[in-house]
Amino acid sequence: MTATSPQDREFLDQLAAKVEANIADEEFGVSELADAMNMSRSNLLRRVKKASNLSVSQLINQIRLERSMELLRNSTLNVSEVSHQVGFNSPSYFIKCFREHYGYPPGEVGKHVNVPAPENPISTAPNSAKKYWIGGAALVLLLAVAWLIFKPEIFPEKLTREKSIVVLPFKNDSGDSTNIYLINGLMEATLNNLQKIKDLRVLSRTSAEKYRDSDKSIPEIAEELKVSYLIEGSGQKIGDRIVLNIQLIEGATDKHLWSKQYRREANDIFTLQQEISKDIAERIQAIITPEEQSRIEKVLTESPKAYDSFLKGLELLNRGGDENLLQSVTYFDEAIKEDGSFAMAYACAGFAFYYYDLFRAEKVHLDQLGEYSDKAVLFDPTSGESLRAKGMYYLLKKDYSQALPFLEKGLEYNPNSSEIIGLLADFYANYLPNTAKYLEYALKGMQLEAGPADSVATSYFYLRLGNALIQTGFVDESMEYINKSLEYFSGNAYSRYVRAFISYAQTKDLRLTRSLLKAEYAKDSSRFDILQDLGKVSFYLREYDSAYVYYEQFNRIREEQKLNVYVHENMIIGEVYEKVGKTEEGQKFIQSYRDYLDGDQTVYKNLGLAVYNAHHGNFDTALEHLRLFAKEDNIQIWVVLFLTEDPAMDEFKKNPEFQKIWAGVEKKFWDNNKQIREQLEEEELL
């Protein structure tokens, strides 16, 4: 056991006393404890971590749980009353935390010997300050027993292990390979039902799929995926009967905790899926709310024939590729023909249309996506998939504010959906930028997506996280994750692209950034996005002729391909054209930028108006808009780093009022960064 110094012991006793004084107040958390100790949050976090190897939240919870144990043993209060006495207003959440801490539910306290909780640095009992002297032999025996029972590598891990699980691809035991879609469908249904349970962390199907033909051991897979439990399954269809074998395995030890063989008629497949999910959740002691239970028990369709067509479509949808996507819709339509109220079939057909049209200039299936998603929501408004499809429709339609409530509600119904989390991350990165939200969903996505070292998908998830971190001001951390992204997939050109700008945040060397961008453009001359950035960086370097050359190429591509992209960059493009004597063309670009601002829904609208008016010498109006922008939160670091590099701001930034306002913007950004850092450090995510 780790020794605690007298100074740390005294500090922890002081903390315990503060928490004890507010034990029944559920709202008494990290900030309140920091105030009570007259410490900053960051100092409190560091000091508690050093003294106890716990986060502050864990420490507060531990104190509450130890007090609850004392009350359960020494009072006549029931479990619900005790939970409120120690600051848990939700008895079910109290039971969950108690079980994880002590290894059994609070209702069974009387059945267990009165022994201490797993190794911890504090005790909140009233007589904790007393010293007990034990004879040498008895002390040695007691310590030996305590070590065997409570040694850190066994007991605390067993009781505090996160409920994380991955459903590995099921194996087809049938000699008929055409049944693979059915076995895969059973795996997908098991996964989908488990994903509806908020008390579980359920990894995505794509994370599991990488191990379909892997020869890695269970402990190796568990370590790579950072999960505690794995589900293995195999099955076959014999005539009209389905035989399915399911095993629950402890990842670290490869210990088989539970197994069961299910034999059902094919038309009883829906009951089979529900039973499997409930059996698994019960074995790992996951709490299922009544609402989650009702969603798990919901029968997708009463028609076995419709479901069979649906599974065939799902198999193709998961494979991806344009041909498979469109072919999947024919099967979903067959399912809908058999059951016109099959909400999941409508939703999945919508997914196929969305992914087919996503990167196409002409959204040929937009109306169909709208119709199918409407039907999905009509027939099942509490399905995460139905709401996801409707959100996708509004994203493809570019009606972003309408998409958000559907995506957020969909995640509420399916809290482990990496697909919805990914859409929300991209939403806050690209459509209605919000750096804090972008980072939040990028981190959530990383908790559900994992993979081996050759995973392209994992590379892109690290890219998303690195990009979210840099936008929020975590410069060194973002570089770390971008480098990880390239370790997973060295061919990730977008990671190298983002790294070029992170280098500027580290070095403030625009020439280095431009050379890195040039290297990327040399590898792929179709990257017109890099062309416009080369133009912008050259503009910031006051090398207007070079900037014009890049922008000329960029604009030629926009016109030839009829792309309505990077309109928000037209202000700078117009300034470059003016600088090289192309005044009339430059003014057209600047006017198009002004027109763009009229419809801008982002937090950057007033900043754009400030820049526009500053360019025209209207400094008073520019200051008015800058003051409004200064009220916005969660802006990107690029604004802080690059605005004052803009030549159009050279005169404006000499204005004392500008300097005062901009100093406030920068301070607000870094204060926000500090607050987010403290939160992430507390949750051990950074």
List of domains in the chain: 6-128+136-159 (1.10.10.60), 161-299 (3.40.50.10070), 300-415 (1.25.40.10)
Q: Give, as one character, the DSSP assignment of residue 241.
A: E
CB-CB contact of 70 with 125 (8 Å): yes
Lowest mean pLDDT among 101-110, 129-138, 545-554: 129-138
- pLDDT on residue 127: 36
| Four-point Cα dihedral 34, 39, 45, 46, nearest 10 | -160
CB 33 within 8 A of CB 60: yes
Count Cβ atoms within 10 A of the Cβ of residue 395 and give its class: 0-12 exposed, 13-18 middle, 19 or more buried.
buried
pLDDT of residue 162 exceeding 70: no
* The pLDDT of residue 457 is above 80: no
Give the Cα separation of 8 and 51 in Å (integer). Answer: 5
CA neighbor of 34 nearest in space, from 53, 52, 13, 57: 57
What is the per-residue pLDDT across 175-187, written as a single tens digit (0 to 9) for each?
666 678 888 888 8
Confidence of residue 153 (pLDDT cuts 50, 70, 90): very low
What's the pLDDT at 78? 81
pLDDT of amino acid 106: 83
Report whether pLDDT(572) > 90. Answer: yes
Average pLDDT on 381-403 reads: 93
- Alpha carbons 511 and 498: distance in angstroms, whole number: 16
Q: Is residue 90 over pLDDT 80?
A: no
pLDDT at residue number 152: 33
Q: What is the spatial distance between Cα 432 and Cα 684, in angstroms, rounded to a whole number?
A: 28
pLDDT computed for residue 627 by the predictor: 96
pLDDT category, 125, cuts 50, 70, 90?
Answer: very low
C-alpha span between 121 and 152 (Å, rounded)? 13
Q: What is the pLDDT of residue 273?
A: 79
Residues 6+ apart with CB under 8 A from 334: 306, 309, 313
Structure confidence at residue 456 (pLDDT): 65
Query: Residue 114 CB: number of other CB atoms within 10 A?
Result: 7
Q: Could you give the CA distance from residue 472 to residue 395 in angstroms, rounded to a whole number? A: 24
The pLDDT value given to residue 135:
33
Q: Residue 594: pLDDT above 60? A: yes
Q: Can you give the pLDDT at residue 131?
A: 29
* Average pLDDT, integer, range 21-25: 88
Q: What are phi and psi of 528, to 5 degrees?
A: -70, -20
Q: Is the pLDDT of residue 145 over 50?
A: no
Q: Is the pLDDT of residue 307 over 70?
A: yes
